[in-house]
Amino acid sequence: KAGVTQTPRYLIKTRGQQVTLSCSPISGHRSVSWYQQTPGQGLQFLFEYFSETQRNKGNFPGRFSGRQFSNSRSEMNVSTLELGDSALYLCASSRDSFNEKLFFGSGTQLSVL
Amino acid sequence: EDKVVQSPLSLVVHEGDTVTLNCSYEVTNFRSLLWYKQEKKAPTFLFMLTSSGIEKKSGRLSSILDKKELFSILNITATQTGDSAVYLCAVERTSGTYKYIFGTGTRLKVLA
């Protein structure tokens, strides 16, 4: 069974640009969530999608957005990049029932110059 | 405000040592507590704990939850260099915006 796949693995952008990250969940998983990880900050919740609907959103500015497609694949978009957006962006999927663990992808390392 | 706090932030030990990592939480609507190991990028699942006082064990790793005192510990015995990683603790909630709240992690380095 294939794991959670995130693309691209690495990205280098400059301030003001926008970026789109992709996540393919494990087959059969309908819940996809996104996290930002920076040194010393742990995993900060961005948003969660289920059946193409955003179910929850963390405390991030509107420059961060996402969507989910009918095949459960998800994309995350960050517009008008800032230096502080440099981070590892992790995607996780689950079957969305109780006591379900998250399965993580390898992340996209974004560097904003 | 709900929070998950891990200690210590970092730890350096020698092979063969035993380590104890701590995770305390103040979270409403608690459902379960999870431990993950993050070596390079993708955190990998270690344990899920839902009941107080029941130890989960996998090889040299074990974990236990105390729902009265609101903490969990992760023990690693006879550490090996391959145990070097960041260990993340997360609490799953039954409801609320943040279904999973993560701690900042404990960075463990095991020296040969």
The predicted-structure confidence for B9-21, as pLDDT tens digits, reads as follows 999 999 999 999 9
Give B 70-89 residues with CB within 8 A of chain A. 88
Measured CA to CA, the distance from residue A25 to residue B18 in angstroms comes to 36
Residue carrying the six token digits 């796949």: A5
Measured CA to CA, the distance from residue A36 to residue A87 in angstroms comes to 6
* A90 in contact with chain B, both atoms CB, cutoff 8 A: yes
Measured CA to CA, the distance from residue B81 to residue A11 in angstroms comes to 30
For A104, the closest of B43, B97, B101 (CB atoms) is B43
> What is the token pair recorded at B82?
């391959």
Give residue B51's pLDDT. 80
Count A/B contacts: CB-CB distance under 8 Å.
56
Give residue B97's pLDDT. 66
Chain A residue numbers touching B99 (CB-CB < 8 A): 33, 48, 56
**3-class DSSP state for residue A84?**
helix
Q: What is the mean pLDDT of chain B?
A: 93
- Residue A97's pLDDT band, with cuts at 50, 70 and 90, is low
**3-class DSSP state for residue B81?**
helix
CB contact under 8 A, A58 and B97: yes
* B48 in contact with chain A, both atoms CB, cutoff 8 A: yes
Beta-carbon count within 10 A of B54 CB: 10
> Quick one: closest CA in A to B97, which residue?
A56
Nearest CA distance, A51 vs chain B (angstrom): 17
CB contact under 8 A, B43 and A42: no
Q: Can you point out the beta strands (E) in chain B?
A: 3-7, 10-14, 19-26, 30-38, 44-49, 56-58, 61-66, 71-76, 85-93, 100-102, 106-111
- Are A79 and A20 contacting, i.e. CB atoms less than 8 angstroms apart? no
Give residue A1's pLDDT. 66
Is the backbone of residue A40 left (phi > 0), alpha (psi -120 to 50) or beta?
left
The enclosing H or E element of A66 equals strand A64-68
- Residue B103's pLDDT band, with cuts at 50, 70 and 90, is very high
